[in-house]
Structure 1
Amino acid sequence: MNLIDRISHQFEDNMRASLEALELLAAPIAGAVELITASLLDSGKVLVCGSSGSAGDARRFAAQLVNGFELERPALAAMALSADSSSLAPIAGDPDTQALFARQIAAFGQPGDILLTLSANPDSARVLDAIRAAHERDMRVIALTGAGGGRTAETLGPADILLCAPAERIARIREIHLLILHCLCDGIDCLLLGVED
């Protein structure tokens, strides 16, 4: 296969996965937009965490809530749990970093807040611990994952929302996650600002 064919295949694979995601996830994404917006309007906040390569997307999503997406609006209460390097440092010399998101949720999470998790790996121990910690704080969870949902899907409660990218390849999962995050930002702005188009 030559390079142009490989590139074409990447684009076509992305389009197939995105169209499948649209059919499966449009309604749950709308539900997530409504859930986040209701929390923000009730003085709640959004805590965002991403495992491994998804940490950057988590930081970017939180920043877009605080600073704005495509429209001018007041800042929204959001915090990326992977952004504070002092919180991510091993605690008291303990090299186990699995519980670091969970510890931040225990410190900052309040009933009515939302936890949004991002991980291409549906069995990420750090994300699973974060979900459990959010439930202990009476927070609802929106989990973005892929590869069938795995243990993340099993750990979510009935009031939580699973946004599982219909893909196995990490590249496709992360591309769909980015599109979902953009849909969330756009939908939140639409509901808060009354945008019609």
Structure 2
Amino acid sequence: MQDPIKTLFTECIQTQIAAADMLQEPLESAANLLVGSLLQGRKIYCCGESLAHATSRHFAHIMLTGLSFERPPFPVTSLHADYGAKEHTRMFAQQIQAVGQANDVLMVFNACERAPRVSAAMEAALSREMLIIAITHNSDTDIAGLLGPEDVEIRIPTSNSARASEHLLQISNMLCTIIEHRIFPQETDS
């Protein structure tokens, strides 16, 4: 019997290999959409279902403060997760309805099977003519059906929520690095 810890590492590595093969094109599309939006003065809002909301907050933080080098902040906001809200499932949607503008971007993170709060935010974004980037996984049942032709889905090749959560964080770091290097190419020449 294989060591349980080694088994977990093996699962992580296998998911990494599958992701490296499958996610290059959607990562490129997401980076292009984010860079284009930022250069056009659009705003990016992000949220995540359940524990994935921590990744949303992390992404907003590194986009504001910088990841690879010191730079001006990008206009990225993680929506507030007010779990005491009267309409718990609409907490993100209400914020999008209040501040979202056409062609702004909503970036959603999900490592659960169901995503009612994120789905409601996506519906609100669609009503505001916003673009959507969804980072999901194979067991997600709510999000893919809400995406339009100009939206981007990055579907992590796993049904395991723990592996998906690990990749949400990795993908957010990768996107920030790509965006920084595209907007500030002089920083990568040194």
Whether these two folds match at TM > 0.5 is: yes
The correspondence of residues 7-26 of structure 1 with structure 2, limited to 5 A, is 7-26=5-24
Q: Is the partner of 1:151 in helix, strand or coil?
A: coil
1:101 pairs with 2:101: no
Alignment partners' CA distance in 2, 1:82 and 1:19: 34
Percent identity of equivalent pairs: 31
* Partners of 2:112 and 2:139 within 8 A in 1: no
Q: Which runs of 4+ in 1 moved over 4 A?
A: none
Alignment partners' CA distance in 1, 2:68 and 2:181: 11
TM-score (norm 2): 0.93
1:131–1:79 distance in 2 versus 1, CA, 3 Å: same
Q: CA RMSD in A?
A: 1.6
1:155 pairs with 2:146: yes
Where does the alignment leave 5 or more consecutive residues of structure 2 unmatched? Answer: none
User: Aligned AA for 1:179?
Assistant: Q
Superposed CA deviations along residues 26-52 of structure 1, whole A, max 9, x for unmatched, are: 111011011011111111111010111
TM-score (norm 1): 0.90
Alignment counterpart, residue 71 of structure 1, candidates 58, 69, 72? 69
Where does the alignment leave 5 or more consecutive residues of structure 1 unmatched? Answer: none
* Partners of 2:111 and 2:140 within 8 A in 1: no
Alignment partners' CA distance in 2, 1:7 and 1:137: 46
Q: How many aligned residue pairs are there?
A: 188
1:130–1:57 distance in 2 versus 1, CA, 3 Å: same
What's the CA shift for 1:150?
A: 2.3
The correspondence of residues 27-176 of structure 1 with structure 2, limited to 5 A, is 27-82=25-80, 85=82, 89-90=84-85, 94=86, 96-176=87-167
